[in-house]
Amino acid sequence: MSTTTLKPHRRNILLITTDQQRYDALGCNGGTVARTPCLDGLAASGINYRRANNQNVVCMPARSSILTGQYPSTHGVIANGVPLPADAPSIAAYLQSNGYRTALLGKAHFEPAFDLQRRWFENTMVDRESTGPYRGFEHMELAMHTAQPYWWHYEDWLHRNHPEEVEGFVRLFGPGGMNQEGGGDTGAPEVAHNPVRREHYHTDWVADRTMAFLDALDRDEPWFVWMSFPDPHHPWDPPASELSRVPWRSLDLPAAHPGSDEACRKILAEKPRHWLGYYEGTFANLEGGPPRFVPAQMTHDHVREINAMTHIENELVDEACERVLTHVAAKGLSHRTDVLYTTDHGELQGDFGLMFKGAYHCEGLMHIPLVWRPAPDADVAPAQIHAPVGQVDIAPTLCEIAGVPVPEWVQGAPLPTDPLSENQGREQVITEWDSQFGHIGIHLRSMWRDDWLVTVYLPSNGDHPGSRKISEVVTQLGGDVGAATVRYDGTEGELYNLADDPHQWHNLWDDPSARAIKSDLVADLMDNLPPVHDPLLAVEAPT
């Protein structure tokens, strides 16, 4: 890998990510509850990508796609139980080799968090008293969604400095976490009224640590900083002092909630059987939510309180972004700093009567916010881009900003900036899902094209290499083995015209009137699938 000669005043890069945030969380994308003036301002002064889809709908595969610029099939992290190899391609390492200072502050999650044996570096950094380097990031200070265990820097910091505030968080492991137990006003799953002080919450901590890293740099050093907020991913336990921002009793059900148990069942019955199975509790959504959670048991008030908590967390993220961007401006660096904002995946958030995430390829999980505010010195006009783009396009965009060639291992292309250029030569964006457990056997390939969304269900096959027996996993998490089994023969699928059916309530897969468009879309999808990692990476953790 060659090193590019440094140029004076190269553009800095601030990549901001959230976790499990919907496209419509932001006001600039149609959100009407959470106030997001900072991010709306970035979209107004930059480029808002209206059709950005992720490459996978859970954390590790999607985050690995951002880091590598590759599809999950290719980088090999097909699920949260498959760690990204330490020597995998990294855009951070590439930029570092080309003269950039690099850091990741907040949630990394390229390795399994459910790591009771402490096998991976991310989960041992505190024990090692380490802040990196790792994967091309010279400095890493990590945070997860909770205050326990004390494996990550934020959790350790809170335990050492404010131990009285630790118990207010929902636990990641053990009672109150990884299950359907709830709290708050309604007993909603994974909700708590958290007495932690606002300034000690992980959202503000991530912003504080980002600013501290920037303060340690020389003004003329170019930098790539990934600021990664753990919110609004569950558990939903923002500081109790902020709950008055969004009173849950004032919220309506989300637009894609069918409104009644009967309507939920009718809509879900049109989809392949694990959809209705999840709702009824006959299919355990082990790879996307608490293993014993049954959506049909959720009340409408549960949905309202969870959504209120989510909106509050979105507002806190927006305010943290404003703090950091103000700090960058005070340092006199705004004119040569590019800002990109996105997330790894969305959240069902009541759509179809469901909650959390999983093997459900729908707008709520696949359609993500993506905003790029180029450095003012770059002289790029604000725009709304409707061409389909994905997370694999972020890495090559960072290369373009840095003025370095795109490495050959990157599968994406730089994000388009001109809305008048014939759809930028882009027609489709692909999202993948592979269950890490052969007994579950769900393998999805989805493509958005021209307001159509098609999902092919590949035939269920055997265990992924190294996969633990599903009985061991389900028993460990306290579930039922039979409730975690589903098989598909490859004839099943989903097809939606999003222009006519934006909520995906009417599956046209078996509709005779859609036979021609279905055939065309399926052929296009299969012709554009990415190459598969050889050999397949082993599943090494239960989730």
- Pairing state of beta strands 443-449 and 452-457? antiparallel
- The band of 114, judged by pLDDT with boundaries at 50, 70 and 90, is confident
Query: For residue 108, what are its two tokens?
Result: 């990394």
- The band of 8, judged by pLDDT with boundaries at 50, 70 and 90, is low
Domain range annotation of the chain: 12-427
Q: Apex CA 380: angle with CA 379 and CA 381, to 5°? A: 115
Q: What is 38-65 written as a DSSP string? A: HHHHHHHHSEEETTEE-S-SSHHHHHHH
How far is the CA of 198 from the CAs of 91, 210, 319, in angstroms? 33, 17, 12
- Pairing state of beta strands 12-19 and 337-343? parallel
CB-based contact 33:318 (threshold 8 Å): no
Using alpha carbons, select from 11, 14, 241 the residue that is nearest to residue 106.
14
Query: For residue 468, what are its two tokens?
Result: 């633990």
Greater pLDDT, 175 or 206: 206
**390 pLDDT above the threshold of 80:** yes
Decide: pTM greater than 0.85. yes
Residues 6 or more apart whose CB falls under 8 angstroms from that of 477 comprise 178, 286, 291, 292, 542
Q: Given strand 452-457, what is the order of strands in its sheet?
A: 429-434, 443-449, 452-457, 493-497
CB-based contact 431:454 (threshold 8 Å): no
* pLDDT computed for residue 77 by the predictor: 97
Using alpha carbons, select from 198, 415, 225 the residue that is nearest to residue 316.
198
9-68 pLDDT, tens per residue?
799 999 999 999 999 999 999 999 999 999 999 999 999 999 999 999 999 999 999 999
Question: Kind and range of the H or E element at 19?
Answer: strand 12-19
Q: Which fold has domain 12-427?
A: Alkaline Phosphatase, subunit A (3.40.720)
**130 pLDDT above the threshold of 90:** yes
473-504 pLDDT, tens per residue?
555 555 554 566 788 999 999 999 999 999 99
Greater pLDDT, 437 or 294: 294
* pLDDT computed for residue 441 by the predictor: 86
366-389 pLDDT, tens per residue?
999 999 999 999 999 999 999 999
pLDDT mean over 388-400: 98
